[in-house]
Amino acid sequence: MNKFVVVDIETTGNSLKKGDRIIQFAAVIIENGAIVDTYTTYINPEIMISPFITELTGIDNTTVADAPLFHEVADSIANLLEDACFVAHNVHFDLNFLQDELELAGLPKLACPIIDTVEMSRILMPTLDSYKLNDIAIVAGFDHDRPHQADSDAFVTAEWFLSLYDKALQLPTELLNQLYKLSKLLKTNVAELFSYLIRNKANQQQIPETLQFFRGLMLKKVQIAPITHSEPVAFPSDRKEKMELLQKGYSAQYEERTEQGDMIQFVYDSLREGDITLVEAEPGFGKTISYLLPAAIFSINKEQPVIIATHTILQQHQIIENELPRLNKMLNKKINVQVIKGKSHYLNLWKFERILRQENEHYDEIITKMQILVWLTETETGDVDELNLSSGGIHFWYRVSSTSVENETEINPWGKMEFYQRAMYRAANANLIITNHHFLLADVTGNIRFLPSYDYVIIDEAHHFEKNATKFYGNQISYRKMKYLLGQLGTVEQQKLLGKIYRLLIDKNIHMQTNATTLNKHIESFTNMCEEFFQLCLSFSKKRQKNAYGKVSTSISFLDNSRLTYAWERLYDAFTILYEDFENYYEKLSNMYSLLSEAEKIILEDFLLLLLDFQTMERFHQDVFYQQDVIIWMETDDRSPLPSLVLYSQPLFVGEQLAETLYSEKKSIIFTSATLTVKNSFAYIMEQLGLNHFPVHYNQYKAPFSYTNQVNLYAMEDLPNISEVDEQEFIATISSYITSIAEAVEGRMLILFTSHEMLKHTYYLVKESGLLEDYVLLAQGISGGSSQRLRKQFGRFDKAILFGSYTFWEGMDIGKDALSAIIMIRLPFTSPKEPVHHGKVQLLKEQGKSAFYEFSLPEAVIRFKQGFGRLIRSKEDTGNFIIFDKRIYTSKYGTTFLQSIPKTPLQLMTIDALCNKLEANRVGTNSKDPED
């Protein structure tokens, strides 16, 4: 395998059988590890090219008018591929289409080995965020200025293939042998490539110094050095010393913010005095380093860890990658810091070692095994967040993660080399332990304590903490998960988990009270009851309003609906009978665990994981019938209503639970965020967190920005209220306004919606108008990919519009110097029909409180502040914040929003006046002398 031909084609559509044809063919020839030739040609398809394809590829009917027909170049293409390996990105599309064209031209189909660079990338580059060719080109630094043109795509694919080839060549022979054995079960001929590389490396048996081979796995060497305790550090005595420390950490990049010194002192005093504290620091203030610095000094001097709980994994990474190096520089020493996540995040090497030996023909499982094998040579943490797994790969991960419950009678030969054990060892000796809200709550509420003993906690992004706590204390069951579990279980006769367990019981001569026929009836009954119950739930979701995330969301009450109650009780009874059988089987087999073979132990461990998943049914049942002030609701996606149906249970308020498990148990708890106050008052957040009966200290810190000079705050005076016009008319109007504003600012714009339906309709109207052809349009829930991926795509283009819902309101950092304008379509009140919100409102009304002023309005103000905070992050940033909701100046509560953000004058504008001003501001800014 020495000759590779990397191919890419452009076509009029997806299927030649439906009349589509090739319009461009390109090939790059690789021999002896180098590009030796290229071939490209346009092809006349003899049919019209659609505007969509022209927009995608840049190829129109004029381009191919004088190009050869396919049969005129078919022989050249076939000769090119003779005795070569066919390589492409998503190879089956290119190959199958080309085969059909060759057959149509009267030539035999190709009979050559094939390699898919997507498949190779997943195996050899398991940590890439995306396997799309455009994204790969950006990461790899390849010149790819004409995506979706065959010659450019083929050349980039060839360059990438050579990179993958070189990486595979550098892998140790032992690892290549493992990949080769697994790859024989794949859909392409990558096994032949691994075999060829192994033969070429026959004389290179030495394992690199950076790796170690242990129990059949190749791992990156990680020195788990003994932790040394630091000498005490003098806390800076005055503001000047604090500023000097900050300057030392940031060097020339530091913008002096004198109030940072005050926050540093306040946090340090709070830790030292054992206070519960609320700290609000505006966006761009430098909040994170202002609590990390005093926390690190306090921990070193007190010899006690400080827990830092964040809202997102991204924030954890930002602390480690951005703030920790600065902190080390400030204190002139390495601070012992450890990130801790839930056990499900960490690979269990002992479980993976054993499952690796088990043969399996499931494609996703094979790929995931290969990904993990390569990843083990790179990772120091064993954290799944580093990997890019398929949905099938995620299911496999669950089996090999440290969630797996190990039998106490068996010694794990990996011992302290297990990734979770490594993390816990470091945490036991760390100054700062960084975790998330969920894991902190799991630690303080569980029977087993995961974290080392601690008394000092800093909760960042604290405006999310109450919602995260209610999610933590809640439960959920879903149709898809139940179907998955039942699919994994199978029947007694099938070669699935239940069949394996049943045969294992027979092999071990274990008496079973339930025979196979009865057990199958129990499975059938539970399956039928599941289907009946979820179908009934689905009937309640018809014609319901969608929430801000595009889901149909419906409150339900088991107590008020006899049909639903009856259906659930039938399902729960079927579950109880079945689960009793399963518990009995597990108990009997676990009692003889030490006598089981390795394969049998894995079967039993997988069965236990399934039992743990099924326990959600019991917890949900308790919430439905025995817990007070719990809201039950369902969500579904109208594109696939039944498969997407999920039922949730959640407590309405968690203040009492937090008081009992957290506030009363820890010495000092510091809540910090950029948005904790409403009209400079902490009353709302204190109520939500259940802090009203505790002595609480609080403070606010302003960012040193001149909002009057840096932010233009506008509201539209010629836009109708949505309540006064038909919604479609309102959407048509705002779409035209967005288009006009985009033409005026010529930059990046973030459009914030509270309704996903309105977002979707507005996006398509703007896109289909064709007036913003030079803009990249991205929409949450439409463009594809996660919010984080959308954010990255958004930042790559100078002229882009991102249509976002609540994810982009609530803390999604767009990035410095990224935005020219933010448009807020409506004030961010939660829909009164949203189940949790409705439940809280009803409970507050029963308590004789004003639900609007004590809950709905403050919640909206906090979200409004989050949206406003996306715009300005430094003294150099400028931008326009435009509100389409007239209530900001017509309602009596509109001033509450304006009085809760930094003082910025509100300017009322017509669309024509606004566009003229935006354009004048843009032209004026661009024409300024650089020295000004």
Q: Tell how many helices (H) and how many strands (E) occur in the chain.
A: 38, 25
d(CA 575, CA 620): 12
d(CA 671, CA 663): 12
Q: What are phi and psi of 305, to 5 degrees?
A: -75, 150
The full 3-state SS of 380-439, as one line of letters, equals CCCEHHHCCCCHHHHHHHHHHECCCCCCCCCCCCCHHHCHHHHHHHHHHCCCEEEEEHHH
Q: Where are the beta strands (DSSP E) in 269-321?
A: 276-281, 306-310
CA within 13 Å, CB half, 317? 7
Q: The sheet that has 432-436: what strands, in order across it?
A: 337-339, 432-436, 306-310, 456-459, 668-673, 276-281, 696-701
As given in the structure block, the two tokens for residue 194 are 């691994």
Output the DSSP codes for 35-65. EEEEEEEE---SSPPPHHHHHHHS--HHHHT
Work out whether the CA dihedral 898, 903, 904, 906 comes out positive or negative: positive
Nearest alpha-carbon partner for 814 in 387, 410, 314:
314
Write the single-letter amino acid at 752: L
**SS3 assignment, position 24:** strand
- Angle CA(722)–CA(723)–CA(726) in degrees, nearest 5? 70
Q: Which residues pair with 714 in a beta bridge?
A: 882, 907
As given in the structure block, the two tokens for residue 632 are 């039950």
As given in the structure block, the two tokens for residue 123 are 């195996």
d(CA 836, CA 848): 19
287 marked ligand binding residue? yes
Nearest alpha-carbon partner for 832 in 842, 823, 824:
842
770 marked ligand binding residue? no
Contact 74, 101 (CB under 8 A): yes
507-540 residues labelled b (16+ CB within 10 A) or e (exposed): eeeeeeebeeeebbebbebbbebbeebbebbbee
Residue whose entry in the numeric block shows the structure tokens 């390495």: 334
- Angle CA(827)–CA(778)–CA(135) in degrees, nearest 5? 140
Any residues with CB less than 8 A from the CB of 182 and at least 6 apart, and which? 366, 369, 370, 373
d(CA 292, CA 322): 12
875 marked ligand binding residue? no
Write the single-letter amino acid at 43: I
Residue whose entry in the numeric block shows the structure tokens 């319901």: 544
d(CA 288, CA 315): 10
Q: Which residues pair with 715 in a beta bridge?
A: 883, 908
Work out whether the CA dihedral 396, 400, 403, 408 comes out positive or negative: positive
Pairing of strands 879-883, 711-716: parallel
DSSP state of 681: B
d(CA 404, CA 424): 17
281 marked ligand binding residue? yes
- Cα–chain center distance at 124: 22
Nearest alpha-carbon partner for 157 in 41, 29, 58:
29
829 marked ligand binding residue? no
Any residues with CB less than 8 A from the CB of 507 and at least 6 apart, and which? none
Q: Is residue 720 exposed (0-12), middle (13-18) or buried (19+ Cβ within 10 Å)? A: middle
283 marked ligand binding residue? yes
Nearest alpha-carbon partner for 139 in 154, 123, 127, 151:
127
288 marked ligand binding residue? yes
d(CA 415, CA 223): 15
284 marked ligand binding residue? yes
Instruction: Write out the binding residues.
Output: 281-288
Instruction: Write out the binding residues for ATP.
Output: 281-288
